[in-house]
Amino acid sequence: MAIFCEINSNNRVINIAVGDDADVVANGGHQSETAANWFQSINPLSDEGVKWVECSEDNSFRGLRASAGFIWDESKNAFYKEKDYPSWTLNETTWEWEAPVAFPSGPNTTSNQLDITGWDETAQKWYYIDDNETRYNWDTDTSNWVAA
C-alpha cells in the first residue's frame, strides 16, 4: 500500500489517498516525483490541492505517517504535526515536537498524573490538577510534583 497526501498552498495535508505498491513501483518508484505525477493523473487534485506527496505507512521515510492537518516540509522532506507551543523544538529523528523541559517521569509520577498532565507555556513547566482542583508543578530539580 502506498499512501499519498494532497498538499495545499500552505503546505498542509488536506486529503489522504491510497495507491497500490506495484503501480507506484511501475510508475517511478516510491518517493519519486514521477510516481506522484502518475498518482495525480488517476487522482486529480481538489480545488485547494497543489500536489500529491507520498508518505510512509510506518514512519520509515518522510517523517511521520501523515493525516489531515499535518505539515509537509519540503526542505526537510518530512511530514509532521503542527507545533503545539512556541518554545517547543522539532526532533528531526522522531519528527515529534519536544518541550524545553523533559516530560515528567520516574518513581514520583503515577499513570493518573501523566494522563492529566499539561504544559504551561508561560511558566515553562509541566503541571497537573488533581481531583480537588489543586495544581501541581513538576520540579525538575527534585523530580517531584509540588503544589503551586
- What was the pLDDT predicted at 49? 97
Task: Residue 33: count other Cβ atoms within 10 Å of its Cβ.
Answer: 12
2-40 confidence digits (pLDDT tens)? 999 999 999 999 999 999 999 999 999 999 999 999 999
How many degrees, rounded to 5, is the angle at CA 12 between CA 3 and CA 28? 35
pLDDT-wise least confident of 30-44, 45-59, 127-141: 127-141
DSSP 46-101: -SSEEEEEEE-SSSSSSBSPP-TTPEEETTTTEEEPPPSSTT-EEETTTTEEE-SS
Give the amino acid at 131: D
Convert the pLDDT of each residue in 80-125 to its tens digit. Answer: 999 999 999 999 999 999 999 999 988 888 887 777 889 999 999 9
C-alpha cell at 120: 504551561
